[in-house]
Structure 1
């Protein structure tokens, strides 16, 4: 199973308040979207997320400057190539470790402002963070801080479960 799926695209499109149109899984097992722009099809998770963001009222989520835009694109590709397979415990551990390292010095994945990469990784990682023990959450303390910050925004969280990051439990 993969985590960059139609359900994830739907959550992101709800957050962006943009209709994704008709989506399906292509012959190559890639999310594809039909009729989004003048009867053109778009294929590929990262490409679809970027297109949805460009056509939303939240274009700033792609980044305010060239470096942030490049980092956002890089993290969307990371989501597709790495975090996508984090439903496997060994890959989940690696992804959490890598993100924990990045988030040690950053508030958000691409720096100091939330981007669509943060929103995307939030949806991809929700089920994994939900299953982590308190000890696991404390092991990935920077990811836990970032995730808890992200879930405070009800628009991001939507109807997903609120995950407890109570520090009394994390350090006991």
Structure 2
């Protein structure tokens, strides 16, 4: 099972209020969206999400409205989602991803800095199943990821019908 799935792409399109196009898995095992942009097929999780962001009316998530550094970081995090988070449904990969994200989020509110981007939205959906399976001790071990996730999930429109994950970081295990 991969975490950057058609379901994840559909949730992002719904959040951005963008018709998802016809989504399918190609022979190369990648996601493709047909008829998203002028009868064109777009292939790849990161590419589709960037197209959604650029078509979105949510200007704060529109890539064209951010500076070049933020645009680059968004693209980096979307690629990270494909290359690393996508396979974090395996415990060893999940631990590595959580450790890496915890380090990045130690000094940042969001993955690219101080503003939520489409990268945060994509990571939220891709990581939801992993975060919901963490014990209280694991949440405390990854306190910065837990803080970020809890912050992001507070937006009801983003959360959609996903379960709110409870974070009780007051109980640290010895």
- TM-score, scaled to structure 2: 0.95
Name the CA shift for 1:7/1:17 in 2 (closer, same or farther; >3 Å).
same
TM-aligned CA deviation for residue 19 of structure 1 = 0.6
**SS of residue in 2 equivalent to 1:42:** strand
Residue matched to 1:17: 17
Partners in 2 of 1:20 and 1:59 — Cα distance? 18
**SS of residue in 2 equivalent to 1:149:** helix
CA contact (8 A) 1:102 1:109 kept: yes
Partners in 1 of 2:172 and 2:18 — Cα distance? 37
Residue matched to 1:131: 133
Residue matched to 1:167: 169
Moved over 6 A (4+): none
TM-aligned CA deviation for residue 171 of structure 1 = 5.9
Residue matched to 2:81: 79
TM-aligned CA deviation for residue 37 of structure 1 = 1.3
TM-aligned CA deviation for residue 156 of structure 1 = 1.0
Provide Cα deviations, 1:82-129, integer angstroms capped at 9, x if missing partner. Answer: 100000000000000000000000000000000000000000110000
CA contact (8 A) 1:134 1:169 kept: yes
Residue matched to 1:99: 101
The number of aligned residues is 172
Runs (5+) with no aligned partner, structure 2: none
Provide Cα deviations, 1:27-60, integer angstroms capped at 9, x if missing partner. Answer: 0000001011111100000000000110011243
CA contact (8 A) 2:139 2:169 kept: no
Partners in 1 of 2:59 and 2:6 — Cα distance? 21
Q: CA RMSD in A?
A: 1.2
- TM-score, scaled to structure 1: 0.96
Question: Does residue 34 of structure 1 match 2:31?
Answer: no
**SS of residue in 2 equivalent to 1:27:** coil
Map 1:32-71 to 2 at 5 A: 32-61=32-61, 62=63, 64-71=66-73
CA contact (8 A) 2:3 2:87 kept: yes
